[in-house]
Amino acid sequence: MKENNARHINGFLGVLLFVVFIGAAVFSLINQIIPLGIVLVLLAVLVASGITVIQPNQAVVVTFFGRYLGSIRSSGLFLTVPLTLRKTVSLRVRNFNTKKLKVNDVEGNPIEIAAVVVFKVVDSAKAVFDVDNYEEFVEIQSETAIRHVATKYPYDTFENVEITLRGNAEEVSNELSVELQDRLEVAGVKVMEARLTHLAYSTEIASAMLQRQQATAIVSARQKIVEGAVGMAQMAIQQLEEKEILELDEERKVAMVNNLMVAIVSDRAAQPVINTGSLY
């Protein structure tokens, strides 16, 4: 099914015809011309059945005894084919907030995820005839697409992973928009935007995952500290030797590096010990 333009004319002409037929029918009935009056009343009813009012950013789908005649997208008062059924479809931009869904990411961790979908109807015929209820269809397909995208990536990266739900929200949202558009094409709906609005670990594992994140952060910080400590120890020994301040053998170098590493890497302040030697 594809949208096409329904036949229609200015609705004020239909109103004028209706008034003329009603006036003529009244005149005929007053003058005892009963058959003509009945015919004129029927004509007035036929004309009135074809008059329709369309609001801005709305479309009217016209069917005649089960046959699709077309759609009217222009706003105003129009006269179309009499005895037709007309269904109004909104063409305005709308948004839909999904529920918080509990799904498993690619690593099997349960997470909570939700999104907002901005969409509009671009083909009124598909929206009316190809699906039962296009609004409900959008809701169900949105939740299905979110579940599918969420299961393709990990929530967060603890290893070298290119895309994660938490770290690459823009890429995930773009993929969600593309998948939604593919799913909603059959309903004549255009997806304008899809964005994640909620993303978190499920309550039953949130505490454990927080500890895991903290541990990862601590390990990463310690790694940077060790790298810096090694560089500082190497620089200290190099400068002492270059300026000939001290002559250090291998054993003293090891002891010095050990002391520097302990002082720098330790999370507590170092307590210096001064060796004054024997007083006697």
pLDDT tens series, the chain, 280 aa: 889 999 999 999 999 999 999 999 999 999 989 999 999 999 999 999 999 999 999 999 999 999 999 999 999 999 999 999 999 999 999 999 999 999 988 888 889 999 999 999 999 999 999 999 999 999 999 999 999 999 999 887 655 557 888 888 899 999 999 999 999 999 999 999 999 999 988 776 556 666 666 666 666 666 777 777 777 777 777 776 676 666 666 666 677 677 666 666 665 555 655 554 544 4
DSSP H helix total and E strand total for the chain: 7, 10
- The model carries a pTM of 0.72
CA angle 211, 214, 219 (to 5 degrees): 125
In a domain, 105, yes or no: yes
How many whole angstroms from its chain centre is CA 64? 38
Closest alpha carbon to 236 in 263, 272, 270, 260? 260
Supply the pLDDT for residue 265.
61
Supply the pLDDT for residue 262.
67
Supply the pLDDT for residue 200.
86
Tell me which amino acid residue 11 is.
Answer: G
Tell me which amino acid residue 60 is.
Answer: V
Closest alpha carbon to 192 in 73, 91, 94? 94
190 shares a domain with 111: yes
CA angle 114, 116, 118 (to 5 degrees): 155
Residues contacting residue 272 through CB under 8 Å, at least 6 positions apart = none
d(CA 47, CA 82): 6
d(CA 150, CA 101): 10
Supply the pLDDT for residue 22.
95
In a domain, 34, yes or no: yes
SS3 109: coil
What residue has token string 């609001």? 55
Supply the pLDDT for residue 81.
94
In a domain, 61, yes or no: yes
- For residue 235, the enclosing domain spans 213-265
Alpha helices (H) in 120-168, listed in sequence order: 124-129, 134-150
Closest alpha carbon to 105 in 171, 143, 148, 153? 153
246 shares a domain with 195: no
Query: Domain boundary at 66, 90, 114, which?
Result: 90
d(CA 248, CA 163): 50
195 shares a domain with 220: no
- Residues 194 and 180 sit within 8 Å (Cβ to Cβ): yes
In a domain, 272, yes or no: no
Neighbours of 154 (CB within 10 A): 19
59 shares a domain with 152: no
How many whole angstroms from its chain centre is CA 76? 34
Supply the pLDDT for residue 1.
83
Q: How much of the chain is in helix, strand and coil states, percent to nearest 5?
A: 50, 25, 30
Query: Domain boundary at 201, 223, 240, which?
Result: 201
How far is CA 118 from each of CA 23, 180, 267, rounded to the nearest angstrom? 50, 11, 50
Count the domains in the chain: 3
Supply the pLDDT for residue 240.
67
Supply the pLDDT for residue 54.
96
Residues contacting residue 98 through CB under 8 Å, at least 6 positions apart = 114, 115, 116, 117, 139, 142, 143, 146
Instruction: Tell me which H or E stretch contains 113.
Output: strand 110-121
In a domain, 274, yes or no: no
Supply the pLDDT for residue 279.
43
Closest alpha carbon to 3 in 262, 150, 187? 187
In a domain, 278, yes or no: no
